[in-house]
Amino acid sequence: MNAAIDRRTLIAALAATAALPSSLAFAEPRTVTGSALYRERIALPPDAVLTVRLGVLAGNALGSQLIAEQIVAPAGQVPIPFSLSFDTQDAPQDARLGLDATITAAGATLFRTAQAIPLPAGDAAVEIMLASAREPAAKPAPITGVEWQVEHIEGVDNLGETRPTLTIGADGRAGGSTGCNRFFAKATIDGEVLAFSEAGTTFMACDETVMRVERAFLDALAAVAAYRLEDGMLVLVDAEGVARMKLTSAA
């Protein structure tokens, strides 16, 4: 009788496990360990604080989705060890994860990572190299003041003959053509992080094929979280690092 009950209990437990969503059934904890350091031979002040963040990569920086954070206070001296624990179900499936770090004291940033570090597979310790925040960060190649023409929109097979264009001014004003209407928006640029406000447009009606391209263009623009330059091509990516648009200089 007890064996029958145990068998039924086991079957019920297995059925319950099978019924779990895959993100829960296969979720597992993971711990990322490593150390943060810098090349300068400078001692940190006693009140220095190290902050290490884990999040979804958007280009070479972390996007808006953070997964874990550790604050080491006081930081001590380099190399400063850190340990970040998170549940794999908290990360979007197939997302590219990365780490960044800062060292602050008295409200000022002393050191920071120049760009996020992709999270390696496995359990190997991660070394995060920081650069002095007092030195100007290397500026990416300029994307402002250039008329960019769309060459590819994710999910669109045929852009047609009249392709959308995009220009970003030094003051952050963005605009161009959707292929049918003129549009305007506000761009915010911080390093390689890039975002656009909701775009406004004129109200011309065009062929349905052109209008489909317009909708795809505006949807992709709204999803942009960062950019990168690849052989002169401007690649606009979303918060999960997916390339939503590729553009080339129209000049």
Q: Is residue 170 part of a domain?
A: yes
Mention every residue, 6+ apart, whose C-beta is less than 8 A from residue 132.
38, 40, 110, 111
Residue with tokens 């992080």: 193
Domain boundary among 132, 161, 193: 132
Domain boundary among 71, 100, 132: 132
E strands, 73-179, are 80-87, 97-105, 108-112, 117-118, 126-132, 147-153, 165-168, 173-177
Q: Is residue 174 part of a domain?
A: yes
Domain boundary among 107, 132, 157: 132
Same domain (yes/no): 86, 41: yes
How confident is the model over 170-180, as pLDDT tens digits?
999 999 999 99
Mention every residue, 6+ apart, whose C-beta is less than 8 A from residue 219.
none
* Predicted pLDDT at 84: 94
Burial of residue 158 (number of CB atoms within 10 Å: 0-12, 13-18, 19+): exposed
From CA 23, how far away is CA 70, in angstroms rounded? 24
Q: Is residue 8 part of a domain?
A: no
pLDDT, mean of residues 90-113: 93
Q: Is residue 22 part of a domain?
A: no
**CB-hemisphere CA count at 13 Å for 203?**
0
Same domain (yes/no): 156, 207: yes
CATH number at residue 206: 2.40.128.270
Is the pLDDT confidence value at 11 over 50?
no
Same domain (yes/no): 96, 157: no
**Domains identified in the chain, total number:** 2
Q: Is residue 3 part of a domain?
A: no
Is the pLDDT confidence value at 45 over 90?
yes
Same domain (yes/no): 209, 245: yes
E strands, the chain, are 29-38, 49-58, 61-72, 80-87, 97-105, 108-112, 117-118, 126-132, 147-153, 165-168, 173-177, 182-190, 193-196, 200-201, 226-230, 233-237, 243-249
Residue 4 parent element (H or E): helix 2-19
- pLDDT band (50, 70, 90) for residue 90: confident
* Predicted pLDDT at 25: 43
Domain extent at residue 188 = 147-249
Same domain (yes/no): 160, 123: no
How confident is the model over 128-179, as pLDDT tens digits?
999 999 755 555 568 999 999 999 999 998 898 889 999 999 999 999 999 9
- pLDDT band (50, 70, 90) for residue 108: very high
Same domain (yes/no): 110, 156: no
Q: Is residue 7 part of a domain?
A: no
pTM of the model: 0.49
Is the pLDDT confidence value at 15 over 80?
no
CATH number at residue 65: 2.60.40.2990
Residues paired with residue 128 on neighbouring β-strands, in sequence order: 36
Residue with tokens 């963005």: 174
